Chains A and B, each alone.
Chain A
Amino acid sequence: MMRHIGTLLLLGVLLAACAPVDLDAAIPAYDTGVDTEAWATISAGEFLSGQFSDRAAIDYDYEIMVTDVTVAQVVHFLNAALQDGTLRAVDGRIVGFYPGDPFHDARHEVEIVAGDYDIVPLDDPASRFGFDGTTFTAKAGYENHPATNVTWFGAWTYCGAHDWRLPSEMEWEKAARGTDGRPFPWGDEIARNNANYYASRDPFEDMGSVGSRTNPVGFYNGRTYGAYATLDSASPYGLYDMAGNVWQWTGDIYEGMHYRFMRGGSKDTYEMDLRVWVRNNATPTYFSPGVGFRCARNP
């Protein structure tokens, strides 16, 4: 009997691994009150960069979005770009032109020549936008969530279309931590209600099924949503979600590498990846429900 119980238990555990996940499961909808069109100005000057607080400087003022680009904003852009022909639907994906990168033939480097590259996929069930063949729409409840499943080319195209750009890694880091060398945008320590990270017990995650999900941009602003109280986790410059929620594409293109870098950690990573100096990277065609972006611009 005991042997059978053990076998059944093991079978149950293994079958649980194959349980279907409802990607369209209802998600709590909250208005965070944070303006998704707002920009923060970062003044020129020194700051402490990296894990070991090296002195660094950015010698110009720049502006950066207070929040990640939202699903609603990307949907609006995609519709406009499809209409004016900037982007095209091809084989289950939206593509757009990218002028290519210098190639150095370094080890593992993949050449990126001028041409059309993926902006967003059209057939990925994890996307928070829908496409009926002509028009994009945001999925209900996700309008004010960060736009995910956007490739680096997509993020680059979005920012460029507005005459903005992706922030460099240095710009991103200074905006996230200010000038005092702190590891997190809000300070030295992290609590579960500072940010959305893996198993942070936020209202959007369901670790028994869909796992972590994104939160509306600016969610961790000190407000209480239902029974869930957040801590005000803005960066010294007032930016939200600079740690957790989604990794954010940055704009640097490094010699000998085709990889593009991301910062900030995400809903899917442990808090160690939320430290402001932690880097992640992927090919520029990579997209994920855990990767978004925000733009920067010159004042």
Chain B
Amino acid sequence: MQFAKDRLRYLFGSTKGLILVAIAMIAMETALFGMLSGPMAEYGVRDVVVRALNIDLVQAEREGRIIILYHSIAMAVVAIEVTMITSMLKMKESYKLGVRALITTGYLMAMVFGMGFAYWGHNWALHGLYIAGLTLIFFAGVLLVIALWPWSREVTQVDSAYARTRKGVDLERTAFFAAALTTVISAMFGAVAGANFGNGFTVVLAENIIRYPEKTTMEYSVIGHLHIMLALIAIMITLIIGHWLDFKGLLHKIAMPLMILGTIVLNVGVWGVVTPLEPIAHMVIYVGATPSMLAALMLVIFGWDKLIRGGVAGIRRPGLWRKLGALVRDPLRFGPLWQMVFMNFTVSGIGIFMAVRLDEIFRVWPAREERIELTGHWHVLSAIIATIILLYYGDMIGLKGKLRQLYGWAIIIASDIAFAAVTVFEMKRLFVAEATQQPLVNTVILLMDFGLGILLVVLALVMVWRLLDLFRKQGRWTAEAEHELSSEVA
């Protein structure tokens, strides 16, 4: 009994345990449900899985299943970020416990009951429990906003190296607060639309209606919600990585106000799509995205500079190669920042290119081609966020030496090959005709499968290792049980 108690206390009572559980849940869900679409369906794997697990794939419910699948994975990612924040930032212990209890119960309920409802027949009790799970996550968000309140004396920033106001208000904490607050509001934005469509037992996928000149307010809400939630998850992980890397100095002082401004303006732009502001909403979104991305760029500059300086310390007049060597010496610290840069080639760059040449290029193609670009680039963004979390997690669990190198570079290289292949697949019509595309498609699909496959194998190995570790009396988990991320600033 004590055996189980100790493990459960670690898994559900400690920061690293909670993160491990959430990563494991995502890994299992991704591995299982990834077999139901794309190449896995092509190879016939889906049919085997469906039969073996008695999954109920009603054709008209496909879009609904996908929406619940996205939400359940996203909730676990949000839970990981929230757990990290509660471990990194100063807050009352009661708030920390409350937030974690709510969000952990919430995302587990949302995942288990949501997927049960979506894939194993429409049992409405499961749907109710799924919604209850989402509701708990929402309340966790509200509590987190309260816990992050930046204007109380206890959390005043006393160190002048960090961004702060004249009165000592911690601007990094304010950025976290702004992201958390707008996340809660944006969640409501989706909840209203979700309730509207759900009550009529219908769904809508944004990518399927993007060309319609007239959209209902609820359809706009869905489009706005999915974009802003993903953007906020990205903003939050940027802040988390910044905190981990001890982002400070002049760049920090410029970046944090930019991040706060960007977060607020971005949200106002997205909320604006359901108001008379709609005609200029896109412009407001661009205006909001720019400072946020600039803030991320400053983090990258700071982080890479720090890695280089640390790596060449003690060397007189280090050359370019030495500096480069220092930069990439530790893939777990270089990786998250590199992925943020790589994101510009596979997500932001594509998005901007599409926006600029929409009518000349993309709207000349059939809608189903445009859909590939739309879904492709936000899948890549989601996956990039996941790799950043995994890279940070590798550091968190204390990977060292060759294992650290192998884990880090496998994630960076494999994922980037896959993301680059996805990007080529999205844009293939620019350089290959439909009738002659198959060899190119085969190659990029192979690279995608290879990259994502390696990523999943690495993740599986880590999960198996962590599982086996739990059976050891003095396993790594015993040491991790008391660790807090606030004390592990890089």
Residues of A within 8 A of B (CB): 13-14, 16-21, 23, 51-53, 106-110, 125-126, 183-184, 188-189, 198-199, 207-211, 247, 255-257, 259, 262, 268-270, 272-273, 275, 279-283, 286, 288-291
Per-residue CB contact flags for chain B residues 344-385 toward chain A (1 = under 8 Å, else 0) read: 000000000000001100011111100000000000000000
The answer on a CB contact under 8 Å between B59 and A275 is yes
Q: Which residue of B lies closest to A17 (CB)?
A: B443
Q: Which residue of A lies closest to B197 (CB)?
A: A52
Q: In chain B, residues 33-50, which have Cβ atoms closer than 8 Å to a Cβ of chain A?
A: 41-42
CB proximity of A284 to chain B, nearest CB, Å: 11
The answer on a CB contact under 8 Å between A126 and B367 is no
Q: Which residues of B contact A110 (CB under 8 A)?
A: 359
The answer on a CB contact under 8 Å between A280 and B366 is yes
Q: A21-B435, A211-B437 are in contact. Are A53 and B443 (CB under 8 A)?
A: no
Q: Which residues of B contact A272 (CB under 8 A)?
A: 62
Please report the number of residue pairs spanning A and B whose Cβ atoms sit closer than 8 angstroms: 103
Add 8 more A-B contacts to A13-B446, A52-B60, A291-B366 (CB < 8 A).
Answer: A16-B442, A21-B438, A110-B359, A126-B436, A262-B366, A280-B366, A286-B365, A290-B434
- How many B residues are at the interface, by size bracket? 35 or more
The answer on a CB contact under 8 Å between A268 and B367 is no
The answer on a CB contact under 8 Å between A282 and B201 is no
Q: In chain B, residues 429-460, which have Cβ atoms closer than 8 Å to a Cβ of chain A?
A: 433-444, 446-447
The answer on a CB contact under 8 Å between A270 and B41 is yes
CB proximity of B143 to chain A, nearest CB, Å: 37
The answer on a CB contact under 8 Å between A288 and B41 is no
CB proximity of A209 to chain B, nearest CB, Å: 6
Query: Complex Cα distance A289/B364, Å?
Result: 16
B276 at the interface (CB under 8 A from A): no
Among B42, B358, B446, chain A packs the most CB atoms within 10 A around the CB of B42
Q: Which residues of A contact B364 (CB under 8 A)?
A: 282-283, 286
The answer on a CB contact under 8 Å between A126 and B439 is no
Query: Complex Cα distance A215/B441, Å?
Result: 21
Q: Which residues of A contact B62 (CB under 8 A)?
A: 272
Majority secondary structure of chain A interface residues (helix, strand, loop or mixed): loop
Q: Which residues of B contact A282 (CB under 8 A)?
A: 364-367
Q: Which residues of B contact A279 (CB under 8 A)?
A: 208, 367
The answer on a CB contact under 8 Å between A283 and B363 is yes
CB proximity of A73 to chain B, nearest CB, Å: 21
B488 at the interface (CB under 8 A from A): no
The answer on a CB contact under 8 Å between B211 and A259 is yes
B63 at the interface (CB under 8 A from A): yes
The answer on a CB contact under 8 Å between B213 and A183 is no
The answer on a CB contact under 8 Å between A126 and B447 is no
Query: Complex Cα distance A211/B439, Å?
Result: 8
Q: In chain B, residues 182-203, which have Cβ atoms closer than 8 Å to a Cβ of chain A?
A: 200-202
The answer on a CB contact under 8 Å between A207 and B213 is no
The answer on a CB contact under 8 Å between B214 and A126 is no
Q: Which residues of A contact B42 (CB under 8 A)?
A: 198-199
CB proximity of A17 to chain B, nearest CB, Å: 4
Q: Which residues of B contact A23 (CB under 8 A)?
A: 435-436
Query: Complex Cα distance A106/B212, Å?
Result: 10
Q: Which residue of A lies closest to B212 (CB)?
A: A257
The answer on a CB contact under 8 Å between A269 and B434 is no
Q: Could you write out 9 A-B pairs with CB less than 8 Å apart?
A: A19-B439, A21-B438, A21-B439, A51-B202, A52-B202, A108-B358, A110-B359, A275-B59, A291-B366
